[in-house]
Structure 1
Amino acid sequence: MQDIPYAHAFLSSGCCPDELAGLLFQVALLSRIHHRNLVTFLGYSQQDGKNILVYEFMHNGTLKEHLRGGPNDVKITSWVKRLEIAEDAAKGIEYLHTGCSPTIIHRDVKSSNILLDKNMRAKVADFGLSKPAVDGSHVSSIVRGTVGYLDPEYYISQQLTEKSDIYSFGVILLELISGHEPISSDNFGLNCRNIVAWARSHIESGNIDAIIDASLDTGYDLQSVWKIAEVGIMCVKPKGAQRPTISEVLKEIQDAIAIEVQREAPQVQQLMSKRSMGSVSINTDNSVDLEQNASFDEMLMRPGLR
Structure 2
Amino acid sequence: MSFAAVLIPMWVLTTALIVTIIEGRPDPTASTTSGHIMLLEEQPITHSSAKMEAQSPGVPEVRVVHHQDLNKSILIALIVASTLLVGILLFLSCCWIYRQKMSKHSIGKRQKTNEVPIGTPLSALMVEFNSLMLGNRKGSVVVFNYQLLEAATNKFSESNILGEGSSGPVYRASFDGKFIAAVKKVNGIRQDAEREFENEVNWLGKIRHQNIIKLLGYCVHGKTRFLVYEMMQNGSLQTQLYGPSHGSALTWHLRLKIAVDVARGLEYLHEHCNPPAVHRDLKSSNILLDSNFNAKLSDFGLTVTLGLKSKENIKLSGNLGCVAPEYNLDGKLTDKSDVYAFGVVLLELLMGRKLVEHKAADESQSIITWAMPQLTDRSRLPNIVDRVIKDTMDLKHLYQVAAVAVLCVQPEPSYRPLITDVLHSLIPLVPMDLGGSLRIADCIPSV
TM-score normalized with structure 2 length: 0.53
Question: SS at the partner of 1:92?
Answer: helix
TM-superposed deviation, 1:35: 0.3
Matched position secondary structure for 1:229: helix
Amino acid at match of 1:130: T
Question: Whose relative contact order is higher, 1 or 2, with alpha carbons under 8 Å and at least 6 apart?
Answer: 1
Q: CA 1:217/1:178 → structure 2, altered by over 3 Å: closer, same or farther?
A: closer
Per-residue CA deviations over 1:203-256 (Å, capped at 9, x if unaligned) read 223321132111216431011111111110101100111111111111111132
- How far did 1:168 drift? 0.7
**Mapped pair 1:174 → 2:350:** no
**Does residue 364 of structure 2 align to residue 195 of structure 1?**
no
> In the alignment, what sits opposite 2:223?
49
1:22, distance to aligned residue in structure 2 (A): 6.3
Which amino acid in structure 1 is aligned with residue 427 of structure 2? Q
Q: Which runs of 5+ in 1 are unaligned?
A: 269-283, 285-306
Assess, with a 3 A threshold, how the Cα gap between structure 1 residues 241 and 220 changes in structure 2: closer, same or farther. same
Number of the residue aligned with 2:384? 211
* Residue pair 1:133, 1:139 contacting (<8 A) in 2 also: no
Matched, 1:242 2:415: yes
**Secondary structure of residue in 2 paired with 1:34:** coil
Rg: which structure is higher? 2
Output the CA distance in 2 between the equivalents of 1:163 and 1:53: 29
Separation (CA, whole Å) in 2 of partners of 1:246 and 1:267 = 25
Q: Distance in 2 between matches of 1:264 and 1:144?
A: 42
State the match for 2:244 in structure 1: 70
Distance 1:49 1:256, change over 3 A: same
2:232 to 50, 58, 61: 58
Between Structure 1 and Structure 2, how many residues are aligned? Answer: 262
| Alignment match, 1:127 | 300
**Aligned with 1:8 (options 159, 183, 186):** 183
* Alpha-carbon distance between aligned partners in 1 of 2:397 and 2:212, rounded to the nearest angstrom: 26
Q: 2:395 aligned to 195, 214, 222, which one?
A: 222
Alignment equivalent of 2:322, drawn from 143, 149, 161:
149
Name the counterpart of 2:164: none
Deviations 1:10-35 (A, max 9, x none): 3442799x976765454222211110
Using structure 1 for the length normalisation, give the TM-score: 0.76
Contact kept? 2:428, 2:437, Cα under 8 Å: no
Q: Give the structure 2 partner of residue 117 of structure 1.
A: 290
In structure 1, what is the Cα distance between the partners aligned to 2:169 and 2:320?
19
Structure 2 unaligned spans of 5+: 1-166, 173-181
Aligned counterparts of 1:148 and 1:118: Cα–Cα separation in 2: 28
Q: Deviations over 1:37-61 (max 9, x none)?
A: 0110112111243122221111110
Q: Could you tell me which amino acid in structure 2 is paired with residue 144 of structure 1?
A: L
- 1:133 Cα offset (Å): 1.9
The answer to whether the Cα contact below 8 Å between 2:196 and 2:301 also exists between their aligned partners in 1 is no
CA–CA separation in structure 2 for the residues paired with 1:82 and 1:247 = 18
Instruction: Tell me what 1:82 maps to.
Output: 255
**Offset of residue 69 of structure 1:** 3.8
Can you list the C-alpha shifts for 1:177-221, whole angstroms capped at 9, x where unaligned? 10101100249xxx8711112221002233211321112164310
The change in CA–CA distance for 1:11 and 1:161 in structure 2 (over 3 A counts) is farther
Q: Is the 8 A contact 1:224 1:257 kept in 2?
A: no
1:76 and 1:82 in contact (8 A); partners too: no
Write 1 or 2 for the structure with the bigger share of helix: 2
Distance change in 2, residues 1:52/1:69 (3 Å): closer
Q: Deviations over 1:148-186 (max 9, x none)?
A: 111111100112211111111100111111010110024
2:280 maps to 107
Distance in 2 separating the partners of 1:231 and 1:35: 24
Contact 2:200 2:299 in 1 (8 A): no
Q: Does 1:183 align with 2:356?
A: yes
Query: Are the structure 2 counterparts of residues 167 and 15 from structure 1 closer, same or farther at C-alpha, using a change threshold of 3 Å?
Result: closer
1:91 is aligned to: 264
2:64 aligned partner: none
Q: CA deviation at 1:94?
A: 1.0
Relative to structure 2, which stretch is displaced further, 22-31 or 194-203? 22-31
Does the Cα contact within 8 Å between 1:37 and 1:89 map onto a contact in 2? Answer: yes
Q: Identical aligned pairs, as a percentage? A: 34
3-state secondary structure, aligned to 1:118: coil
